[in-house]
Amino acid sequence: MKGLKKLSLLLVMMLTTTLLYGCGGPSPTDVVNEYFKKMQNGDMDVQKLFAMAEEGTKEENVESDSFSEDTQKKLLEKMKAITYKVNSETVDGDNAKVNVTVKGMDLNIVLAKVMQEAFSFILSQAFSGVEMSEEENNAYFDSLLNKYLDEITYSERTSDVLLTKVDKEWKIEESEALSKLLIGIDSSTFSDSEGGTGSDSETPVATKEMTLNTPLLVETENGNYNLTIEGARATDKRNEFSEKEVKQVVFLDYTYENVSFDKNDLYIDEYAFQVLDDEGNVLDTYPVYDENRTAKDTPVGGKCIASGTFAVPTDSKNLNVTFVRGSQKVAKIIVPIN
Q: Are residues 154 and 112 in the same domain?
A: yes
286-302 pLDDT, tens digit each: 989 899 999 998 999 99
Number of domains observed in the structure of the chain: 2
- Better-predicted residue by pLDDT, 274 or 194: 274
Q: Is residue 294 part of a domain?
A: yes
With beta carbons less than 8 A apart as the criterion, state whether 153 and 109 touch: yes
Supply the pLDDT for residue 130: 76
**Cβ neighbourhood burial of 87 (10 Å; 0-12, 13-18, 19+):** exposed
Which are the contacts of 44, defined by CB distance < 8 A and separation ≥ 6?
A: 38, 76, 79
The predicted model gives 185-214 an average pLDDT of 65
Whether 130 and 248 map to the same domain: the answer is no
Domain annotation covers residue 320:
yes
Do both 184 and 39 map to the same domain? yes
**Residue 62: is its pLDDT beyond 80?**
no
Looking at per-residue confidence, does 167 or 203 come out higher?
167
Q: Spell 305-320 as b/e; 16+ CB within 10 A means b.
A: bbbbbbbbeeebeebb
Express as a percent the part of the chain with pLDDT over 70.
80
From the list 38, 84, 88, 47, the residue with the least C-alpha distance to 65 is 47
For 1-13, what is the mean pLDDT?
Answer: 43
Same domain, 160 and 35: yes
- 75 lies in the same domain as 213: no
Q: What is the Cα 245 distance to its own chain's centre?
A: 32
Say yes or no: 315 and 227 in one domain: yes
The pairing of strands 303-312 and 248-258 is antiparallel
Residue 22 in any domain: the answer is: no
One domain, residues 40 and 139: yes
Give 147-156 pLDDT, tens digit per residue.
999 988 888 8
Number of CB atoms found within 10 A of residue 274's CB: 20
Rounded to the nearest 5°, which phi and psi values hold at 30? -60, -40
Instruction: Quote the pLDDT of residue 180.
Output: 83
pLDDT at 119: 76
Has residue 4 got a pLDDT over 60? no
Tell me, yes or no, whether 161 and 283 share the same domain: no
Q: For position 51, what pLDDT does the model report?
A: 67
What is the predicted pLDDT for the residue at 298? 92
Q: In degrees rounded to 5, what are phi and psi of residue 77?
A: -65, -40
One domain for residues 126 and 252: no
Dihedral of alpha carbons 153, 216, 302, 328, sign: negative
Among 159, 189, 219, the domain boundary falls at: 189
Same domain, 122 and 173: yes
- 138 versus 66: the higher-pLDDT residue is 138
Q: Minimum mean pLDDT among 101-110, 119-128, 293-302: which range?
A: 119-128
Lowest mean pLDDT among 37-51, 91-105, 239-253: 37-51
* pLDDT score for 54: 60
Question: What is the Cβ-side half-sphere exposure of residue 63, based on CA atoms within 13 angstroms?
Answer: 7
Q: Which residues contact 159 (CB under 8 A, 6 or more apart)?
A: 99, 100, 102, 177, 180, 181
Task: Name the residue among 320, 243, 328 with its Cα closest to residue 283.
Answer: 320
Q: Is residue 197 part of a domain?
A: no
Looking at the domain assignment, is residue 330 inside a domain?
yes
Q: Is the pLDDT of residue 8 over 70?
A: no
Q: Which domain holds residue 278?
A: 208-336
Pair type for strands 208-209 and 328-336: parallel
The reply to whether 171 and 213 lie within a common domain is: no
In a domain, 14, yes or no: no
Residue 251: CATH number of its domain: 2.60.40.1240
**258 and 150 belong to one structural domain:** no
Give the 3-state secondary structure of residue 139: helix
State the pLDDT confidence band at 69, using cuts at 50, 70 and 90: confident
User: Does 18 reside within a domain?
Assistant: no
Q: Is the pLDDT of residue 15 over 60?
A: no
Residue with the larger pLDDT of the pair 263 and 223: 223
